[in-house]
Amino acid sequence: MPTKKTVRTLSKKTTEHEFYTSIPKGYRVGRTKYIIIMGSVMSGVGKGTFSASLGNLLTTLHGFKVSPIKFDGYLNYDAGTLNPYRHGEVFVLDDGTECDLDLGSYERMIKKGLTKSSYLTGGKIFKDLIDKERAGKFLGRDVQFIPHVTGEIKGFLRKLAVESDADIVMVEVGGTIGDIENAYFIEAMRELAYEEGKENVCFVNVTYIIEPKSLGEQKSKAAQLGIRNLMSLGIQPNLIVCRSHNPIREKIKEKISIYSNVPVERVIGLSNMESIYHIPLNLMQKGVDKSIMEILNLKSRKNGSKEFDSWVKLTKMIESAKKTVEVGITGKYTEVHDSYISILKALEHSAPYEDAKVNVRWVETSKITVKNVSEKLKGLDGIIVPGGFGSRGAEGKIECIRYAREHDIPYFGLCLGFQMAVIEYARHICGMKKANSTEIDSNCKQDVICILPEQEEIEELGGTMRLGGHDVVVKKGTQAYKLYGKGLVRERFRHRFNVNTTCIETLEKHGMVFSGMAPKKRIMQILELPKNRFHIGVQFHPEFTSRPLEPNPLYLGFIRAMLDKKRR
């Protein structure tokens, strides 16, 4: 372990030293342990799910305080402007940070609200460095990848450790070993282990064991080469997780062990499972938690075991659920299911509390018309119109909402789905035939949905929307109040447009109830139709605050409404 003198030397930022790293006030080497999770062979191998599940196990069973962080090598400052087709869902934290969907997995599995300190991109690192250089912070030094870029990264992690008072900082490195865009980050992790001491840093490599159909057997060569690549960068993995379609054979584990200098008992097979909620239990059964605690010289605190019992109970509820409902998710990114991953997870973990399972039918709204809507939605127990931007598929969404309203099919509108429900009602009930949103038609004559006043002068796209957690005042006597059980709730937002205040009175006069709004502002945030079984739209994203052990009340209400429809 480095001495205090070594740590002081590492933080020198003068031309006399080659070190450059930030040691935050109050930081003690060894107080916080680090788990570094990297992938090889291919991206999308399941690092995020593994990381979240491991965090769940360490918190709920062993009582450790875990702070996760995700690094993305993109030069984007954050995930706010990324296309869902390319990157999946943009998850929003309470502080307004637009980030990778893996942070949603962390929050759900660890049951902990995260902040901007848990998300780092290449763009953020370089912008911060350039800002410091322009301000003359480097005392005449030439700014380099080593030690400056790597030093900034290590400082970011240590700052998170101090701010969160973490026992363990769990770092997920996006992409795969060999990517140019994350090479400097991996180097920073090597340096971190050198500075913190090997007993304080555990490296986990999540690799993939391929199984070509033409061969009918598992092949480990790609995994071996990926691990060897990691070792060539100066990093010796402590634990290797082998993802696969089918359970891996013992011979595969032995090959990986020999190639990586990792004991065979620390080469863990993790094949596809029916439910991600079983993964923490699976990791426990394979001793992953014990191996990591041995590597980091940690002892279980046992004060989280009651919560782990609740998690085990949830998995049993999932297994034993007897009822089934079919939900139609009617959007325009339906080809990439990760675009709506938080919605899927909120449905998955809410349904078991009503002894149910959810089957999802994907409905591409750009292909929905007045003539085929009944055929496309036939047999559905409920309909969701999720969030999104732009005009493509908008008319199809409006037809789906109209069909749900007229046939009393439970409807749940999320963000854009709230706005589309307002347009549908204005057109077909209020007689405003040309009602629309200025986002869809900037010259529309009846703009029932318009841009928020504070958004009118904003020209940039990144990080400029109404973002993050905001309070919602819920009106007594409404369905929303009954579901929440209280008059003030906090939900997460990501939008620019809202209900035109000049149209609110007309909509209410014709039967629409705005059951939630912003405190002290005429920003409508929840709508409902009292005559329908469940016809609710929300301007926020309740899926972002839904947790497996604490489902969002609106999702529970939606599940109950669908079951009620089936019973009747």
The predicted model gives 97-106 an average pLDDT of: 94
CA distance 444 to 304: 56
Average pLDDT over the chain, rounded to whole? 90
Question: In 3-state terms, what secondary structure has residue 472?
Answer: strand
Which of 311, 342, 364 is at the close of a domain? 311
What's CA 557's distance to the chain center, in Å? 23
CB 255 within 8 A of CB 225: no
pLDDT at 304: 65
What is the C-alpha separation between 439 and 215, in angstroms, rounded? 52
Q: How many domains does the chain have?
A: 2
Cα(26)–Cα(318) distance, integer angstroms: 44
* Terminal CA-CA length for the chain: 67
Q: Based on the fold, state whether residues 197 and 66 are members of the same structural domain.
A: yes
Q: Name, in order, each residue with C-beta under 8 angstroms of 114's C-beta and a sequence gap of 6 or more.
A: 68, 93, 103, 106, 107
Q: Above 90 in pLDDT, residue 18?
A: no
Please state, in angstroms and rounded to a whole number, the distance separating the CA atoms of residues 424 and 174. 41
Q: Is 139 exposed, middle or buried (0-12, 13-18, 19+ CB in 10 A)?
A: exposed
Residue-wise pLDDT tens digits, 494-515: 988 899 999 999 999 999 999 9
Asked if residues 239 and 266 have their Cβ atoms less than 8 Å apart, the reply is yes
Identify the domain boundary among 285, 311, 337. 311
In this structure, are 249 and 350 located in the same domain? no
Last residue of a domain, one of 266, 289, 311: 311
330 lies in the same domain as 287: no
Question: CA 32 to CA 296: how far, in whole Å?
Answer: 10
Helical pair 250-260 and 221-232, crossing angle rounded to 10 deg: 20
The whole domain housing 415 covers: 322-567
Beta bridge partners of 383: 328, 411
Separation of alpha carbons 61 and 25, rounded Å = 31
316 in any annotated domain = no
Q: On the CB side of 307, how many CA atoms lie within 13 Å of its CA?
A: 19
Domain CATH for 545: 3.40.50.880
Alpha helices in 212-278 (DSSP H): 221-232, 250-260
Same-domain check for residues 150 and 89: yes
Q: β-strands 382-385, 66-72: how paired?
A: unpaired
Would you say residue 477 has pLDDT above 80?
yes
Query: What is the DSSP-derived secondary structure letter of residue 276?
Result: G
Q: Which amino acid is at 18?
A: E
Cα 167 to Cα 298: distance, rounded to the nearest angstrom? 10
Beta strands in 127-200 (DSSP E): 168-173
389 pLDDT exceeds 90?
Answer: no
Section 307-312 average pLDDT: 91
Q: Other CB atoms closer than 10 Å to residue 156's CB: what's the count?
A: 20
Task: Please say whether the beta carbons of 31 and 77 come within 8 A.
Answer: no
Arithmetic mean of pLDDT, 332-358: 89
Which residues partner with 39 through β-bridges? 206
In the block, residue with structure tokens 């701010």 = 163
Kindly state whether residues 276 and 370 are assigned to the same domain: no
**CA 504 – CA 527 distance, rounded (Å):** 11
Cβ proximity of 73 and 185 under 8 Å: yes
Question: Is pLDDT at 183 greater than 80 in this prediction?
Answer: yes
The pLDDT value recorded for residue 488 is 97
pLDDT the model gives residue 305: 75
Distances (CA, A) of 261 to 7, 17, 232, 257: 30, 35, 13, 6
224 and 342, same domain (yes or no):
no
559 located within any domain? yes
**Burial class of residue 343 (count of CB atoms within 10 Å of its CB; 0-12, 13-18, 19+):** buried
212, part of any domain:
yes
* Domain-located, residue 127: yes
Looking at the structure, do residues 475 and 372 belong to the same domain, yes or no?
A: yes
Mean per-residue pLDDT, 387-414? 91
Per DSSP, the chain holds a count of helices (H) and strands (E) of: 19, 21
Q: How confident is the model at residue 235 (pLDDT cuts 50, 70, 90)?
A: very high
511 lies in the same domain as 544 = yes
Give the separation between CA 310 and CA 100, rounded to whole angstroms.
Answer: 28
Give 417's contacts (C-beta < 8 A, 6+ positions apart).
384, 385, 386, 387, 397, 401, 537
Catalytic residues: 415, 541, 543
Quickly state the pLDDT bin for 214 (edges 50, 70, 90): confident
> Considering the domain boundaries, does residue 317 fall inside one?
no
Q: Are 64 and 298 in contact (CB under 8 A)?
A: yes
Identify the three-state secondary structure at position 288: helix
Residues 377 and 492 in one domain: yes
Q: Which of 560, 543, 527 is nearest to 424 (CA)?
A: 527
> Considering only CA atoms, which of 212, 219, 274, 217 is closest in space to residue 242?
219
Identify the CATH number of the domain in which residue 132 sits.
3.40.50.300
Residues 271 and 209 in one domain: yes
Summarised one tens digit per residue, pLDDT across range 42-69 is: 888 889 999 999 999 999 999 999 999 9
The whole-number average pLDDT for the span 269-291 is 93
Between the alpha carbon of residue 423 and those of residues 62, 411, 427, 523, the distances in Å are: 50, 15, 6, 16
Residues 276 and 382 placed together within one structural domain of the fold: no
How far is the CA of 104 from the CAs of 91, 107, 355, 466, in angstroms? 6, 5, 24, 19
pLDDT value for 41: 83
Is the same domain home to 61 and 170? yes
Q: Work out the pLDDT band at 331, boundaries 50, 70, 90.
A: confident
